[in-house]
Structure 1
Amino acid sequence: MIELLLTSFPAIFRYYQLKRRGEAMTVWNMRTAVFLWAFLAFLLFVTIFYFHPKSYSGLLPYRTVSIVAQTSGPVTEVAVRNMQRVSVGDLLFRIENNTQKAALKQAEAEFDKITAAAAKASDTLKVAEASVAVSSASLDKLKGDLENAQALVARNSGTREAVRLAESSFAIGEANLASAQAQQSLAQAEISQTIPAQRKAAEAALESAKVALGMTEVRSFTDGVVTQLAMSTGSPASTLILSPAMVIIPDRPNDLPLRITAGFPQVARSALYEGMPAEISCDTNIGLSFSNTVLPARVRHIQPAIATGQIVPGGQLIDLSQRVTRGSLLVYLELEHKDQEKIMVDGTGCIVQTYTNDLGGFTGHLIAATGVVKAVGLRLKVWGALIAGIGLAGGGH
């Protein structure tokens, strides 16, 4: 409509020309003016729609966090309500934990057994060390007796029988010393290897028991608002992601820019570019005052692939003729003014209007100026949606 008004000057000029001459206006004498009007309107229409693409599929996407239990059992406490704000680490609900507590006590009892075993091994080592000392002293005495018996035989004062008895006693003393030393080594190995290994195993079992007990308390991993809470005390805790206990709508990260996504026709790829100026109007921002209704933005990224062309391996060969639906070109936009991000509502639908301004010369400036038509059309669309009580995309009540 606006294009027709802007290009109607040949017909208007011809009308006043005929009126000044006193000639009647007919189809025949208006044919050139009407043809020129149609040609200019078509040229302006093509220029505007090609160089200033518009998308009705703008969206502020967001993700939700599904809350499920890590272990099964009846719920003993629900610590939150619908629409309650939670922070990281806040308790959401508890699950019956008698089994986990018993396992934790058993793991803790293992430490008492290991402590007692360590004390016993220490006492055993002391006994073994004392036994080694006694056996060593006894062996020294038996060695002296053997040497005395051998000396007496050498002086023909002793008997061979006494020497054999002394040798036998000395051998027994060596065996006793070796046995005592073996007991000492065994006690040392118990203290340096067996007890530490048992302690590490007990620590692992204790940590596992603590983790199992911790799983009975479900806490929030994000800041956000609880919604779709459909459980109560006594309800069985679900561990299935498709059947969550509740859903949390997380807060927007402060360190990440808010990005609006929009799907453009694939033929608009040649006109779109990163850094391209744009305007965004969203359903949730429309107001009578028109304040913060049309927001300046800029194209930041253009996805280098069309989603519908993605091929997923499966058990059947893909027939491309069945993929008749053409996908859209996904474009990411950011608002020019960061303070306007707080008025945006997650999930809202938007109209995205882009404007080409990267062409040089007189023609480039003329093409950029035609974006005013699109800007006016966007505002008229917003007013029409407000007055009619429907959404910007034409849907509503």
Structure 2
Amino acid sequence: MTVWNMRTAVFLWATLAFFLFLLIFYFHPKSYSGVLPYRTVSVVAQTAGPVTELDVINGQRVEAGDLLFRIENSSQKATLRQAEAELGTLAAAAIKAEDTLRVAQASVAQATATLDERSEELQDAVTLFERNVGSQDAVQKLEATVKVDEAKLEAAEAQVHLAQADISQTIPAQTKAAEAAIESAQAALIKTEVHSFTGGVVTQLSLSVGSPASTFVLSPAMVIIPDRPEGLPLRVIAGFSQVARAVLFEGMPAEIACDSNANLSFSNSVIPARVAFLQPAISSGQVVPGSKLLELGSVAERGSLLVYFELEHPEHEKIMLDGTGCVVQTYTTNLPGVSGHVIAATGIIKAVGLRLKVWGALISGVGLAGGGEH
């Protein structure tokens, strides 16, 4: 018996093996690029100056509203005191304007009484002059006096109007401006105290007392890893080959093996999950505005199909480490008929292969990093 004599059987075996592997790898796609993404909060100061107080250390847990550090604030306090003093000056000016109004009103009353008296005297002098009893000089003098008294009355009334304008318009406007200056100074003073806006763990703390506080987001004073929002399911993302889109679907069962969960006891090393969402676009095809026209020949690398996975059992979320790398294995179970059951049954081969890979990663010590997408 030779290979030549068995050529038909060998050819048939090789053909069946090829189609079997094609069936397994096509209907049960795997990704080595799985990762548990998470966000970080960069903490930067809103004003410049040396740090005078540091209230946290690396690894410390903080809650929303906790003080992180303080910045030297003497100039902000001086500005606030100046604005408060200006407001106090305006309060005194308002009292003075009230007194000025009362004085002006008294002057108007006095000028009115004097004018009335001089007007009566003028009328009497005119009457006497018409009867040839009085003199024309007396009439002219009284007329001049009346005009002076009228001018004094107008001046007194102008003082009343000026005081009323100060009370109703000028001082209120200046008061609002002073109050706005106080609010601005208070806001500037508040900026010298940096508080946490979220609960989480402080890391990459680069400050010390006396060092200048950075206001650039690219050079943060520290980074906070925030807590996961309550009620929001944990999602693992993975990139698949674009040809896998034909078999991937929302609700598709999957298994996730992560580097941080691999252990000798094999407890929770492979975690069940399901496809939650398929991103409807490939990132490498994104066009952004620029000064150069798009050259498709320069886009040599094909982008991945981004898929989101949610864990089947929420209690597993507690053992997942943010940022861990994972291998994601999916299983096609939605095909009808006998052929669909056969294809679903072949998924056991990929399941066994995933577990062997975890064991191999433990033995080799290099982790679960694979050779690409399949």
TM-score, reference length from structure 2: 0.92
Q: Report the 3-state secondary structure (helix = DSSP H, G, I; strand = E; otherwise coil) of the residue aligned with 1:325.
A: coil
Q: Which amino acid aligns with 1:253?
A: P
Q: Which amino acid aligns with 1:192?
A: S
Q: Report the 3-state secondary structure (helix = DSSP H, G, I; strand = E; otherwise coil) of the residue aligned with 1:143.
A: helix
Distance 2:5 2:122 in 1: 150
What is the match of residue 47 of structure 1? 23
Q: Aligned-pair RMSD on alpha carbons?
A: 2.0
**Aligned runs of 1:114-125 on 2, under 5 Å?**
114-125=90-101
Deviation at 1:126, TM superposition (A): 1.2
* Paired residues of 1:73 and 1:236 also in contact (CA < 8 A): yes
> CA, structure 1 residues 365+137, in 2 after alignment: closer, same or farther (shift >3 Å)?
farther
Distance 1:394 1:45 in 2: 18
Q: Report the 3-state secondary structure (helix = DSSP H, G, I; strand = E; otherwise coil) of the residue aligned with 1:288.
A: coil
Residue-by-residue CA offset, 1:165-199 (whole Å, 9 max, x unaligned): 33333332222222111111111111111111111
Q: Which amino acid aligns with 2:33?
A: S
Residue ranges of structure 1 left out of the alignment (5+ in a row): 1-24
Distance 2:57 2:113 in 1: 79
Distance 1:34 1:147 in 2: 144
Residue-by-residue CA offset, 1:44-81 (whole Å, 9 max, x unaligned): 21122112111100001112222222222222121111
Distance 1:354 1:142 in 2: 110
- Given the alignment, which residue of 286, 291, 304 partners 1:328? 304
2:209 corresponds to 1:245: no
Deviation at 1:154, TM superposition (A): 5.1
Residue-by-residue CA offset, 1:5-55 (whole Å, 9 max, x unaligned): xxxxxxxxxxxxxxxxxxxx4324533332232222222211221121111
* Paired residues of 1:385 and 1:394 also in contact (CA < 8 A): no
Distance 1:248 1:189 in 2: 55
Deviation at 1:156, TM superposition (A): 4.9
What is the match of residue 163 of structure 2? 187
**Aligned runs of 1:288-367 on 2, under 5 Å?**
288-367=264-343
* Paired residues of 1:260 and 1:334 also in contact (CA < 8 A): yes
- Number of corresponding residues: 371
What is the match of residue 374 of structure 1? 350
Distance 2:63 2:289 in 1: 41
Deviation at 1:152, TM superposition (A): 3.8
**Aligned runs of 1:197-216 on 2, under 5 Å?**
197-216=173-192
Residue-by-residue CA offset, 1:200-256 (whole Å, 9 max, x unaligned): 111121112112222222221211111111222121222222222221111111132
2:258 corresponds to 1:282: yes
Distance 1:138 1:123 in 2: 22
**Aligned runs of 1:268-279 on 2, under 5 Å?**
268-279=244-255
Distance 1:155 1:335 in 2: 119
> CA, structure 1 residues 394+276, in 2 after alignment: closer, same or farther (shift >3 Å)?
closer
Q: Report the 3-state secondary structure (helix = DSSP H, G, I; strand = E; otherwise coil) of the residue aligned with 1:80.
A: coil
Residue-by-residue CA offset, 1:88-118 (whole Å, 9 max, x unaligned): 1211122222222211211111112111211
Q: Which has the higher contact order (CA 8 A, sep 6+)?
A: 2
Residue-by-residue CA offset, 1:246-286 (whole Å, 9 max, x unaligned): 21111111132211111111111222122222111111111
Q: Report the 3-state secondary structure (helix = DSSP H, G, I; strand = E; otherwise coil) of the residue aligned with 1:32.
A: helix
> CA, structure 1 residues 317+146, in 2 after alignment: closer, same or farther (shift >3 Å)?
same
* Paired residues of 2:32 and 2:370 also in contact (CA < 8 A): no
Q: Report the 3-state secondary structure (helix = DSSP H, G, I; strand = E; otherwise coil) of the residue aligned with 1:46.
A: helix
